[in-house]
A and B are shown apart, each in its own frame.
Chain A
């Protein structure tokens, strides 16, 4: 299998996994789920670091470093704010007990 085709296979299979895992989510969790998924795409940080590492001109380096900052905000901020939301759900469950 060529490399391009291997990557395409990964893509297609991931589409199905993505559809499947959230198929039955209640409205209560829509907001946290969106926020959590938002944090996950902050993984673009990995790409930003990779291109920054291998930048071959100053322009490339500057753009890549900006991307690192933006991606970090996305990833770290995203996980923190999702955790804050979900923390409240947990408190609620204690009350029920």
Chain B
């Protein structure tokens, strides 16, 4: 293909990516934005087969590899439960980072001694950050999938191990830059993989979304750096866009969660081993029956439902909606109080409730719902915990301290629907559970809600 035409079509693909991100920033155009992005990616991918001066001797193999990737990726994306979507995004991000590290490695091997300093620097950057993104994303995946503990993993002297690993990565990077060769690059990659693991291990469950977003931005930058090695403008534009927008998004997310980005990032260096608090055992709680809850709800004038991740796990969105409709038909004012990070990621709960066709106007964001709690008779907390935990205000030093919460304690009655007394994702005890105005309703959220609905109908 003619070089100019090739570059021009590459520019079209790059513009598609800009329009995709722009579209994704607004609810009206979000879906179209995503499709524009897919079109840009398709143009770029088809185009590369006609790159000037490229051979086609491995064409069949490459096409087979793409087909295989599609066969793995598409069913995974289609079948995943919406509740498990954050970890799938983490996994996709990780494999992208791994791919970038491999691409840079191959190009480095091919260039051998002909590589310029700029190319070597970009390769070193891509391999280090790509490997961190890969192994770090695998750990976030395992945390979210609960294949391992969601609590921060901190071991004595951990920060020295992490610092030493980082020093090792930088030292081998200097070795690669100075003397080149394959083995230093491989050692550097291995150390970077180890660093990725160590970097994410001390991050607590509640901060994991921020880390996913950050690693996403990292992968973007590695793609940009490998674009520099390959002299591919499209990769530079796309990678940098993701790197820059991902950085902003990470900051916005951290702000929404009231977390300091710095604290999250360098948690690895500052985290101390946590002492297990034994205060939780054998304290009295008030547990009620579905009938009690139905009566409370029946005589309420205003009810706020606070949905959390437990609701999604129990697939109780539809039952919650049924209950809300029933209450509305009795003339009770019903609203959903949505915490920005309810679920596992900012906006996750909105996705889940949208799936259950909950009317949009009943979803009230935290800032608007908080002042209404003193006038609210009953708050129904369905499978949420950390987002209503007053420890975020009262206990300096606890992992969620400083996170804005839904002030449900201001309401007349609080009903918690919980599977057990197990603490929330962040692993912190919730004092509100022991409060006099709190009633606990144990069991699977969907089953208990169904019971509440039927007793409410009988009233």
Contact = CB atoms under 8 A, between A and B. Distances in A.
Interface of A: 3-4, 7, 10-11, 14-19, 21-57, 59-61, 63-93, 95-96
Nearest to B348: A31
Given A4-B118, A40-B41, A19 B73 contact: no
B345 A83 contact: no
B66 A72 contact: yes
B403 to A, nearest CB: 13
Interface residues of B, number: 113
Given A25-B25, A30-B249, A36-B21, A77 B92 contact: yes
B345 A30 contact: yes
B354 A91 contact: yes
Given A52-B58, A91-B354, A92-B354, A74 B44 contact: no
Given A7-B231, A50-B232, A43 B238 contact: yes
Interface of B: 13, 17-18, 20-22, 24-27, 30-31, 33-35, 37-38, 40-41, 44-45, 47-49, 51, 54-58, 61-62, 65-66, 68-70, 72-74, 76-78, 80, 82, 85-86, 88-89, 92-93, 95-96, 98-100, 102-103, 105-107, 109-110, 118, 212-213, 216, 219-220, 222-224, 226-228, 230-249, 252-253, 256, 340, 345-348, 350-351, 354-355, 357-361, 365
Given A21-B21, A72-B70, A73-B72, A45 B99 contact: yes
Given A35-B89, A79-B37, A48 B103 contact: yes
Q: Which of A4, A47, A56, A59 has the most CB of B within 10 A?
A: A47
A32 B86 CA distance: 10
14 contacts: A25-B26, A29-B30, A31-B85, A31-B347, A36-B21, A46-B45, A51-B107, A53-B57, A55-B106, A64-B103, A77-B88, A78-B73, A84-B82, A89-B350
The 8 A-B pairs with the shortest beta carbon distances in the complex, nearest first, are A72-B69, A18-B244, A77-B73, A14-B240, A74-B96, A30-B346, A80-B77, A67-B102
